[in-house]
């Protein structure tokens, strides 16, 4: 049996910062992602997790445009984005690998409704704004805005994933030889209640969900592909430098931005401590990152 790799695609890798949020732009980036994943799939059983920050934020904006009904909650918008991106990925992968079945699975992930992030949102969603735009939108919609580089973006709660409710279905599909797109957008956040499971108003970080999936699948490798070519120290300064390899202990000595590289580093370190090898790198360099010719490798 082939070894198993969980591949995590950042939402910003599928819709680059500054790109117009059009279908054409997303499709062009998904074609790049599909080509990289198809190469990996020749050597590995592959489960794909994707982000949805730009996409779910766009859906929220479209949602506000129709003011005759209350806005749909974030868990429902997350499911919409999971279906949209999953369809586009599945179609491009199937076109590249017609002999391989590709399944896109809406995936529910259990979270704690009292997770601390519910009061301190950190997950970036939607497009970037300048100071004036961000202030107007924050006041009009009761949004929280935080800085993302030189711009501002909306942030929403990002509860930590606790359990993948549809993990048995993922196992079944992988065992049947299918490539599986799952836990999209970090998965649909749900929590236990007196009436069964119910949705939670938040967006799970897809890197943490990918790590949870990799651990539950006992995967060999976790590959986090994004719009950065590696993990950098002193990012944005004259002293910035790429970190090509590190242990979890070494990474713990540095601080990384909570809404972007921080969760990726946390996810990679957690999987490395579990006993696997984790990688962070650019979407276009997927196979080279996995071969440790590019990107950042995290291992004990």
Q: Is 2 a catalytic residue?
A: no
Catalytic residue among 10, 12, 57, 202: 12
Q: pLDDT at position 260, please?
A: 74
Series of mean pLDDT values for 10-residue runs along the chain (300 residues): 91 75 89 91 94 87 85 94 95 95 97 94 88 93 89 93 97 96 96 94 93 96 90 85 93 83 91 95 88 94
Asked if 158 and 106 touch (Cβ cutoff 8 Å), the reply is: no
Q: pLDDT at position 14, please?
A: 81
Q: Is 95 a catalytic residue?
A: no
Q: Is 123 a catalytic residue?
A: yes
Q: pLDDT at position 63, please?
A: 87
Catalytic residue among 29, 78, 206, 295: 206
Q: pLDDT at position 235, please?
A: 79
pTM of the full structure: 0.89
Q: Is 12 a catalytic residue?
A: yes
Q: pLDDT at position 259, please?
A: 61
Catalytic residue among 11, 57, 276, 281: 11
Catalytic residue among 10, 52, 57, 123: 123
Catalytic residue among 52, 126, 264, 281: 264
Query: If DSSP states are collapsed to H, E and C, what string results for the chain?
Result: CCCEEEEEECHHHHCCCCCCCCHHHHHHHHHHHHHHHHHHHCCCEEEEEECCHHHHHHHHHHHHHCCCCCCCCHHHHHHHHHHHHHHHHHHHHHHHCCCCCEEECCCEEECCCCCHHHCCCCEEEEEEECHHHHHHHHHHHCCEEEEECCEEEEEECCCCCCEECCHHHHHHHHHCCCEEECCHHHCEEEEEECCEEEECCCCCCHHHHHHHHHHHCCCCEEEEEECCCCEEECCCCCCCEEECEECHHHHCCCCCCCCCHHHHHHHHHHHHHHCCEEEEEEHHHHHHHHCCCCCEEECC
The domain segmentation of the chain, as residue ranges, is: 54-68+111-161, 230-300
106 CB burial (10 A radius; 0-12, 13-18, 19+): middle
């Amino acid at each position: 049996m082939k070894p198993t790799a969980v591949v995590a695609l950042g939402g910003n890798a599928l819709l680059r910062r500054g790109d117009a949020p059009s279908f054409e732009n997303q499709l062009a980036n998904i074609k790049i992602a599909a080509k990289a994943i198809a190469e990996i799939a020749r050597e590995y059983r592959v489960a794909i997790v994707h982000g949805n920050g730009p996409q779910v934020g766009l859906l929220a904006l479209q949602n506000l445009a129709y003011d005759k009904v209350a806005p749909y909650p974030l868990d429902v918008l997350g499911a919409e984005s999971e279906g949209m991106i999953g369809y586009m990925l599945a179609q491009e992968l199937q076109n590249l690998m017609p002999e391989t079945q590709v399944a896109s699975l809406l995936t529910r992930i259990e979270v704690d409704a009292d997770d601390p992030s519910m009061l301190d949102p950190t997950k970036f969603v939607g497009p970037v704004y300048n100071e004036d735009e961000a202030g107007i939108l924050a006041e009009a919609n009761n949004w929280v805005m935080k800085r993302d580089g030189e711009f501002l973006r909306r942030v929403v709660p990002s509860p930590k994933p606790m359990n993948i409710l549809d993990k048995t279905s993922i196992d079944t599909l992988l065992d049947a030889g299918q490539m599986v797109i799952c836990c999209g957008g970090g998965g649909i956040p749900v929590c236990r209640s007196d009436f069964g499971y119910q949705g939670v108003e938040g967006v799970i970080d897809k890197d943490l969900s990918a790590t949870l999936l990799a651990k539950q699948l006992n995967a060999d490798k976790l590959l986090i592909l994004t719009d950065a070519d590696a993990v950098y120290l002193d990012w944005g300064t004259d002293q910035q430098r790429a970190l090509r390899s590190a242990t979890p202990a070494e990474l713990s000595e540095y601080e990384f931005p909570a809404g972007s590289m921080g969760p990726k580093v946390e996810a990679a370190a957690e999987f490395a401590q579990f006993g696997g090898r984790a990688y962070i790198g650019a979407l276009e360099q997927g196979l080279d990152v996995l071969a440790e010719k590019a990107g950042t490798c995290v291992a004990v």
